[in-house]
Amino acid sequence: MSTFAYMRVLESAPDRYDRGIRILSRGRIDEVYSRIADLVAAPGRRVLDIGCGTGGVSIACAARGADVVGIDRSPGMLEVAKAKAKRPLPGRVEWLELGAAEVGDRLAEGSLDAAVACLSFSEFSEEEQAYVLEVVRSRLRPGGVLVIADEVVPRPRLRRIAYRLRRALVAAITYVLTQARTRPLKDPTSLVARAGFVDIESVRLWSGSFVILRALRGRDDG
């Protein structure tokens, strides 16, 4: 999973992104999209997909009847997503060329039932992560759901050492090609707790190098 640092290269070629991400995930990325959608989507629910890319999570949520706002800074990625979403879906998807930090300018407080970030949080600095969580929390209704799915450092020592060795090479190549870095999440549970979310649950996949975390905005919050 450490090779998701190479996503930055794939993002420069949106038409090849889906094929590349399936190779990097050994064909398991669609399962991730499905698991995320199962956690947040239902008919009539409004879901924000942060860094939606080519629309994998957004489309999975709309297929379960949710109304989705998919945001991404890349117009090329959004064009691919729109093309994939042309088949009829039970829910609607609104695609916006928008950065995560701009959510507060476009969405009203308490207007969302859920927000998801799949393979996008690792692209933010720690300061950006904290800010985005603050904004997203205010846009969720009390009891609203947050899901973060992203790369993390494995806990067992030997797996951690092997992971860092593999990732160092891939990250170096990625930086040479794109002048951009991604950072595995250090402690997503603490990060989300500090932002005021509650009832935090997480599961680690793929030898502990990928996490799906679910948390709630407290019902008595705000």
Give the separation between CA 31 and CA 196, rounded to whole angstroms.
Answer: 29
222 lies in some domain:
no
Q: How confident is the model at residue 86 (pLDDT cuts 50, 70, 90)?
A: confident
128 lies in some domain:
yes
48 lies in some domain:
yes
Q: Which domain holds residue 189?
A: 2-217
Q: How confident is the model at residue 108 (pLDDT cuts 50, 70, 90)?
A: very high
Residue 56 token pair: 């994998």
- Burial (CB count <10 Å: 0-12, 13-18, 19+), residue 156: exposed
| 3-state secondary structure (DSSP) of residue 72 | strand
pLDDT at position 50 is: 98
pLDDT tens digits, 179-194: 345 678 889 999 999 9
Instruction: Give the containing element (helix H, strand E) for 14.
Output: helix 14-24
pLDDT tens digits, 20-78: 777 767 788 899 999 999 999 999 999 999 999 999 999 999 999 999 999 999 999 99
pLDDT at position 17 is: 78
Distance of CA 190 to the CA centre of its chain: 17
Residue 142 belongs to domain with CATH number: 3.40.50.150
85 lies in some domain:
yes
pLDDT tens digits, 111-120: 999 999 998 9
- Domain total of the chain: 1
pLDDT tens digits, 188-215: 999 999 999 999 999 998 777 899 999 9
pTM: 0.86
**DSSP readout, 126-154?**
HHHHHHHHHHHHHHEEEEEEEEEEEEB--
The rounded mean pLDDT for the chain is 85
201 lies in some domain:
yes
Q: How confident is the model at residue 156 (pLDDT cuts 50, 70, 90)?
A: low
